Each structure stands twice: as structure tokens, then as C-alpha cells.
Amino acid sequence: MKNSSILIILITISFSMAAQDKRPITPDDLWNMKRVSSVTLSPDGNTIAFVVRAYDMDANEGQSDIWLVNSDGSNLRPLKNSFENETQPAFLPDGKTISYKYKSQIWTCNLDGSGSKQVTDYYSGASGVRWASDASKLLFVSNVYPECMTQECNESKDKQADENKVTAMVFEELMYRHWDDWRGPKRSHLFFYDIANDKYTDLSLSSKYDVPAFSLGSSNDYNFSPDGGEVAFTMNKSDFLATSTNNDVFIMNLSDVKDKYVTPYTKISVSKGNDNQPVYSPNGKYIAFRSMARAGFEADRQVLKLYDREKKEVVDVSNKHDISIGSILWANDSKHIYYTANNEVYNSIYRINIETKENEMVLKEAYISSLNISQNDKTLYFASEKSTMPAEVFSFDIATRKLNQLTSINKEFLTQLDMTDIELFWSDGAGGTPVQSILVKPPKFNLDEKYPMIFMIHGGPQGHTSDKFHYRWNLQMFASRGYVVVAPNPRGSTGYGQKFTDEITQDWAGKVYIDLMKAFDYAVENYEFIDEKNAFACGASYGGYMINWIEGHNDDGRFKALFSHNGVYNLTSMYGSTEELWFPQWEFGGAPWENEELYRSMSPSTYVENFKTPMLIVHSAKDFRVPETQAFELFTALQKMGVDSKFLYFPDENHFVLKPQNARFWWNTVFDWFEKYYTRY
């Protein structure tokens, strides 16, 4: 008995020392983590391929490689382990060969990495391959000049552009730039490649429209039918793209494709909203796709629809369920569809019966991407992550509900880090509506101590803060310097029903602001370890808008200092400089001259006379969504009002900070700003 007691004491001491050895996460840790994505299962179910992207802080860049692992988690290995980027893994139907994108073309090799063979040699490159069932033909997309019918034409035009000393650009329509890219004269076209005859056919022939649609689609926006005779794809044919969300689903019979002529495609979607992600059922009877009902609203509920190829009819499958469909995956029995959907702070897996429309929760408490299913419909494979773990490959036994982690790519780092799982709480928002928030405690948390708080507001605004390992707005990183992090999901958030999402439209600073402040008050009243006298707030995009709004409404002094990343400041000038005009059109009920009072009353710029809280601003030159002038105007106002403020500007980043050394500087600047105003007693 005495020896047993000694053993227990030694084990306890050992565990205690191990916990003490762990340290808080750092910005360098984030960039040392390997990032897993694009999980795909071989047709025989024996092998899983996925992309691992690793970054080099000194080189300030990353590299992507394809890795393989057996479906039971054994034999983890790189496919090539080269010094070049290999991405977009796709198994050929035989399951013994894999294709990948390498140097802008499609290649194949054996599963041991041998036998490399270049498949495409299209001048403008090939991306996003889809293989026909017999592997004799494939689909890919490429950016081309719409008027060009040949590779030689594209090459000649590129050469002319390179040699032209005039750098001016001429615009004759809107959507002349998008996200961080000046669109220019090229468009994304869908190509059909007959390998045996070495024949490329532009299925978007001479079209000025992008296939797939350049925005609001998915990574699954074109596919072969099971017999390889038909193609379904997504395209937006609006003549005014800047205000249109009307992506539609089309089908094309490949037997009608001639040398220089393509028969008219057939539109099968019927809504005026965003339709996308057409996926054929394994038996070839149906095409499933996602559909939004309301025109011009990018965050409408995505419902599941089926196109019956025999009856040529579209039916609703999920409309009675208040869930917005994410990625679509057919079961091999062609009777069920698995899909992902935002669900509170998770991205959960559901299954729906296409005949009875019965919907079933399969796996709730996980953040899922890259969903695959075995041929016998018994096992799901996917990437899953949470705030304390970057994405890894998992399997899930559907019958037993057993979740099995197959890879541990970042185990080396994770075992060193002191991170705490999220906690959840609910508070009453505007009108008594329940609002959910995430709370993260700092490393080496002591219940008897007081901790400063970082109040984090998500963007979108139709988005949500979730239990995932975010590489930019990382919950654990914000907590790492001794802060309690509180991240609410107020009105406008997804995963809480469409009504909750809708209730921010034309009310950006109304119910949502009340939701946020009530969540703040609940946290400081119910968690005694939060030091309410040392509270800071931060947010990006819409979250940045709300920080800018708080700047003019912080009368009660809840927050000692603020941090606004790429935030909206002046709604009127934002309308005239952003690219996707459907967004402000919907969110503010038209253009500024059509709803002047709403633009004025909801704009943070209206309340400059109230500015007094110290603010850090971060913005980037290549952000065309929330243009840099928003930050210029905001910083000018703060300086003119004598408010202590700092402006961090990145000339080479977009809406996000994506380069390792820039990101490290970003984090250090943010922490220095909060530290400046943190009062220690």
C-alpha cells in the first residue's frame, strides 16, 4: 500500500512537471505548423491523399506537398517530397494512379511517387481536374482570352501585353477588380480534354462569362456525369456582375461538342439567387446542387435541390430544415446525401434522405472540411480541427459513431504548447434572443487571479467565430499573453438559423450591438477572473466596422483600447470603391443616394465628435473588398480629434495578412498596443 502511494505521488509530480514544461503559443509556432487540406479518398478506399503546406519564416514563403496515408492511419508518407509545389490531388478511377497540379499543368504518377507523367500541356495552364469514369478524358479550368480559339492566340496576346510599354488600364464596366486582383481581359473557362486524341475543347467557347463563377461558388462547381457523357457546371450570365449573385447551374451533352461549335447549354436551376455545386448521384439519376432563393443576398440560406435527369424537374430536399447546406457528398446508394453545415460554433456533418427528406445529425462537435465516403457507405473521411488542434485527417464509423484520428502532422509542436479548450456560454441579446459566445482562458490559468479581456468580434457579418484553428485570428494566440478571450456570435452569425442571420441586414449597429454589449456584460458579471477595468476589443472586416462603431459609442468606457483590422468606416465612400456591389446594395437597402439616412446613421464616420478611445488600425493596399481609403479616412479623423492612434499599413497584403514575416509583425504590433494600455495593479 505504501509503495502504491509513492507511485501515485511520483506520477502526479511527473504530470505536473510536464504541464509546467508547456509554454504559450507564439506567432512563430503558427507558421511552423503544417497546414492540412484537400483530403481525398481513393476509389478503392485504401488510400487517402491530402495537401500539406509548410512555411519558412526566413524565406517568407510556403511550399505545398501531397502526402498519402492508408485509410487505417498506417504508412504515412509524402508522395514526392520535392522542392516544388504539388497540389490538387485527385485519384484516377483505377485507384492506383494519382493526379496532381505541378508547374501549372496536370501530372500523374503511381502511389509510390514513381512513373511521373505530364498529362496536359495547355499554354495558359490547367487547374482543378475532374476525371471521367474511364480516365480517357478530363475537365479543367484555365484563364484565357475569351476571343481566343487556340493556345497560339493566348500566347500571342500575352506576348503583346508584355511588350507593350503602356501600363494604362481601360475599364468599360464594373467588376474591373475583385478581392485582390485586377480582372483584366482574361476569363476562367472550362476545358474538355480528350487524352487519346490529344484534343482540347473550350466548353465556354468565346464566352465573357467565368466558369466556374468567379464568386459565391464552391470548389465543386463542375463535374462529369457517371457515364462521362455530360457535364454540369456553374456560371453567372448577368450583364452587370457587380450587383448579381445569380449563379446558375447548367448542363452540356458532350456528344454535341464539335471542333469549333458547342451546342447551347441547358440551365437547370430556377432561382434568382445563387445556385452552385452541381454533383451527380452515383446512379446518374440526379444532380444535387445548392440554391439560394433571394437575388442579391450572398448569405441567404443554401437549400439542397435535386434535378431529376429523366423527368427534367427540380425538387426541394432540405427546404423544411432551417440549415444552410455546405459541401455536398452523395452516398454510394444514391439514396442519401451527406453534407456539412455551420452549426453554432461547429461545422457539423448531417445526412438527409432524398426521398423522405428526413434529416439526421451525424457528427456535431467538430469543424469538418473535405468530406469523403467509402464505397460501402460505412465510413466517412475528412479533415477536422478545433481551436487547440490544426486540421488533421480523421475517419468516422457511421454505425458506431467512432471518430478515429489518422494523422498527427503537428504533434511535435502541439505537445509543447499550453492551450485550453473553448468554453461556451449563452446570454440574452436584444429582445431576449439567446446569443452564444466562446470563452478561452489563458495558459497556466489560476481561478484566483484577475485577467485582462480581449473581446473579439468576427467579420462577415454573416459568419461565425468557431471552434477551429484559425491561422490569422487565432483564439489561442490572443489568449497566449495572459488574456481571457471572449468571442460572441451576435445577430448576423451563421449556424443559429436563417432568421438570426437575417436580422443584421440594414441594422448593422442595432440589435447586433446590443447582443455584443450584453455578452460583454454577462462575461464580466459571471466570470470573476475577468478584470473589467482592463478590457480591449478587436475585429476585422465587419468586426472592424463594429470596432469603429464602438469608437464613437464607448461612452461608458467599457474598452480601454481598440484594434480595427481592415474595417469599414465610411459607408458612402465604401459603396463607391468596393467591388461586389450586391453586398452594400442588400445590406443597406440600395445605393447611398437611394437610402441616404440609413447610410448616414449607420456609418461610424458620422460620430467622429465622440472619438476618444485609443485605436490601432491595420489595413492593406490590396484589399479591394474593404479598400484602403477606409483606413486613411479613419486615421485622419482619429488624429484630427487628438485620439492616441497608430496605423499599420501593408502595401503587399490583401484583406488578410498572409506572409509569415508580415504576420509575425502584425501579432507583435497588436500585443504591444494592448500592453501599452494594460494597467497592472
CATH for 456: 3.40.50.1820
Q: Kindly give, in sequence order, each residue whose CB lies less than 8 Å from that of residue 456, ignoring residues fewer than 6 positions away.
A: 465, 473, 475, 478, 485, 486, 487, 537, 538, 539, 543
H and E: helices and strands count for the chain: 13, 38
pLDDT computed for residue 300 by the predictor? 98
- For 5, 22, 34, 383, 482, the CA distances from 413, given in Å and listed in that order, are 33, 10, 10, 19, 20
pLDDT tens-digit series, residues 596-605: 999 999 999 9
> Which band of pLDDT confidence, cut at 50, 70 and 90, is reported for residue 1?
very low
Q: 19 by DSSP, 3-state: which?
A: helix
Query: Looking at the DSSP assignment, which residues form a beta bridge with residue 620?
Result: 650
CA distance 112 to 77: 9
Average pLDDT for 51-72: 98
CA distance 273 to 275: 6
Nearest CA to 349 out of 367, 335, 334 is that of: 367
Q: Does 509 lie in the same domain as 433?
A: yes
Q: What is the pTM of this model?
A: 0.96
- Assess if residue 147 is contained within a domain: no
Whether 304 contacts 339, CB under 8 Å: yes
pLDDT tens-digit series, residues 517-565: 999 999 999 999 999 999 999 999 999 999 999 999 999 999 999 999 9
- How many domains does one find in the chain? 2
CA distance 604 to 170: 33
Check pLDDT > 80 for residue 376: yes
Q: Kindly give, in sequence order, each residue whose CB lies less than 8 Å from that of residue 302, ignoring residues fewer than 6 positions away.
A: 274, 290, 291, 292, 324, 325, 326
pLDDT computed for residue 19 by the predictor? 54
Final residue of a structural domain among 417, 446, 475: 417
Q: Does 398 lie in the same domain as 425?
A: no
Q: Kindly give, in sequence order, each residue whose CB lies less than 8 Å from that of residue 402, ignoring residues fewer than 6 positions away.
A: 396
Q: Does 531 lie in the same domain as 637?
A: yes
- Assess if residue 349 is contained within a domain: no
> DSSP code of 417?
B
- For residue 73 the three cell numbers come to 492511419
Q: Does 604 lie in the same domain as 673?
A: yes
What's the 3-state SS for 69-95?
A: EECCCCCCEECCCCCCCEEEEEECCCC
pLDDT computed for residue 18 by the predictor? 53
pLDDT computed for residue 15 by the predictor? 45
Q: 128 by DSSP, 3-state: which?
A: strand
Q: Does 432 lie in the same domain as 388?
A: no
Q: Does 587 lie in the same domain as 499?
A: yes
Nearest CA to 342 out of 475, 501, 219, 580 is that of: 501
Q: Does 482 lie in the same domain as 390?
A: no
Q: What is the dihedral of CA 168, 173, 174, 179, to 10 degrees?
A: -50
- Assess if residue 71 is contained within a domain: yes
Q: Kindly give, in sequence order, each residue whose CB lies less than 8 Å from that of residue 486, ignoring residues fewer than 6 positions away.
A: 437, 438, 439, 453, 454, 455, 456, 519, 520, 523, 530
- Assess if residue 200 is contained within a domain: no
The mean-pLDDT minimum among 5-19, 20-34, 109-123, 135-149 falls in 5-19
Final residue of a structural domain among 395, 417, 439: 417
Q: Does 431 lie in the same domain as 391?
A: no
pLDDT tens-digit series, residues 244-298: 999 999 999 998 877 655 668 999 999 999 999 999 999 999 999 999 999 999 9
Average pLDDT for 437-445: 98
> Which band of pLDDT confidence, cut at 50, 70 and 90, is reported for residue 7?
very low
> Which band of pLDDT confidence, cut at 50, 70 and 90, is reported for residue 218?
confident
> Which band of pLDDT confidence, cut at 50, 70 and 90, is reported for residue 12?
very low
- Assess if residue 671 is contained within a domain: yes
pLDDT computed for residue 13 by the predictor? 44
Final residue of a structural domain among 389, 417, 445: 417
User: Which residue do the cell numbers 475599364 mark?
Assistant: 171
How large is the angle between the packed helices 511-526 and 542-551, nearest 10 degrees? 80
- DSSP assignment of 493-545 equals -SSS-HHHHHTTTT-TTTHHHHHHHHHHHHHHHH-TTEEEEEEEEEEETHHHH
Nearest CA to 25 out of 363, 480, 510, 680 is that of: 480
> Which band of pLDDT confidence, cut at 50, 70 and 90, is reported for residue 2?
very low
pLDDT tens-digit series, residues 84-105: 999 999 999 999 999 999 999 9
Query: Looking at the DSSP assignment, which residues form a beta bridge with residue 340?
Result: 349
Q: Does 602 lie in the same domain as 622?
A: yes
Whether 562 contacts 551, CB under 8 Å: yes
pLDDT tens-digit series, residues 294-332: 999 999 999 999 999 999 999 999 999 999 999 999 999
- Assess if residue 461 is contained within a domain: yes
Burial 456-487 (b: 16+ CB within 10 A, else e): bbbbbbbbbbbbbbebebbbbbbbbbebbbbb
C-alpha count within 13 angstroms, C-beta hemisphere, residue 68: 25
> Which band of pLDDT confidence, cut at 50, 70 and 90, is reported for residue 426?
very high
- Assess if residue 502 is contained within a domain: yes
- Assess if residue 106 is contained within a domain: yes
Owning domain of residue 400: 23-119+368-417
Length of the chain: 681
Q: Does 446 lie in the same domain as 571?
A: yes
Query: Looking at the DSSP assignment, which residues form a beta bridge with residue 63?
Result: 54
> Which band of pLDDT confidence, cut at 50, 70 and 90, is reported for residue 21?
confident
User: Which residue do the cell numbers 522542392 mark?
Assistant: 83
pLDDT computed for residue 288 by the predictor? 98
- For residue 318 the three cell numbers come to 432540405
Average pLDDT value over all residues in the chain: 95
Q: In this prediction, what percent of the chain has a pLDDT beyond 70?
A: 96
Left (φ > 0), alpha (ψ -120 to 50) or beta: where does 47 sit?
beta
Check pLDDT > 60 for residue 5: no
pLDDT tens-digit series, residues 111-146: 999 999 999 999 999 999 999 999 999 999 999 999
Q: Does 458 lie in the same domain as 477?
A: yes
Q: 224 by DSSP, 3-state: which?
A: strand
Q: Does 408 lie in the same domain as 499?
A: no
Question: What sign does the dihedral 33-34-37-43 (CA atoms) show?
Answer: negative
